[in-house]
Homo-oligomer: A and B are copies of this chain.
Amino acid sequence: MQYPPALARLIAEFARYPGIGPKTAERLAFFTLGRQKPEVDAFAQALAQAVERLHPCVACGALAEHDLCPVCVSPKRDRSRICVVERQRDVYVFERSGVFDGLYHVLGGVISPLDGIGPEELRVSELIERVRPGEVHEVILASTPSTEGETTGLFLAQTLASLPVTVTRIAYGVPLGSDLEFADPATLARALEARRPLKV
């Protein structure tokens, strides 16, 4: 015996998501069956509408429902600084923290020759076009710490060198609130390398 077809299909659909194994998929499917029909219809509609309505912001590449994303249209943002991130979702890591009030630029990845990803595959020329008019004074690279991220940073610094803009990179080091004991050697090395004088 198997699941009734409609149930089998729902379980299979949940199981397509990363991190959701067969047992979790079954649990989510049964939870679905215990919900009211309007609630489930709302979920189904949210799925369909999300892929329909969301597309990359024409300026920064972040998620937008209109031509421009909420950050790019906001009159409150500092237009002189652009934070370059790898993926669309990285924008929300910064937004949630509330520590950055400039604009973003989603690269769409990092330079990785082994994976056949060069600058042409990324939104590099779009970044240059945004920086060229001279309004942007600083480009902050916030890629995930990795060799590819470093390469990408160096490439951007070289590419933007002829323009009147400073290219910086977020600091890597020991995270706040964590115990030194848990820091991996690479992070410790970076933290040591980037040490600063204590001013008295």
Cβ-defined partner of A33 (8 Å) among B10, B12, B51: B51
Which of A65-81 touch B at CB < 8 Å?
65, 69-71, 74
A121 at the interface (CB under 8 A from B): no
Which of A22-75 touch B at CB < 8 Å?
24, 26-33, 35, 37, 39-54, 63-65, 69-71, 74
- The reply to whether B49 and A6 form a contact with Cβ atoms under 8 Å apart is yes
Q: How many whole Å from A43's CB to the nearest CB in chain B?
A: 4
Cβ-defined partner of A45 (8 Å) among B19, B44, B70: B44
A182 at the interface (CB under 8 A from B): no
- The reply to whether B50 and A6 form a contact with Cβ atoms under 8 Å apart is yes
- The reply to whether B6 and A35 form a contact with Cβ atoms under 8 Å apart is no
A95 at the interface (CB under 8 A from B): yes
Q: Which residues of B lie under 8 Å from residue A95 when comparing CB positions? A: 1-2
Task: State A42–B44 Cα separation when bound (angstroms).
Answer: 10
- The reply to whether A24 and B30 form a contact with Cβ atoms under 8 Å apart is no
A-B residue pairs, 10 tightest by C-beta: A44-B44, A10-B50, A13-B43, A6-B53, A44-B47, A13-B46, A44-B48, A4-B65, A40-B51, A10-B46
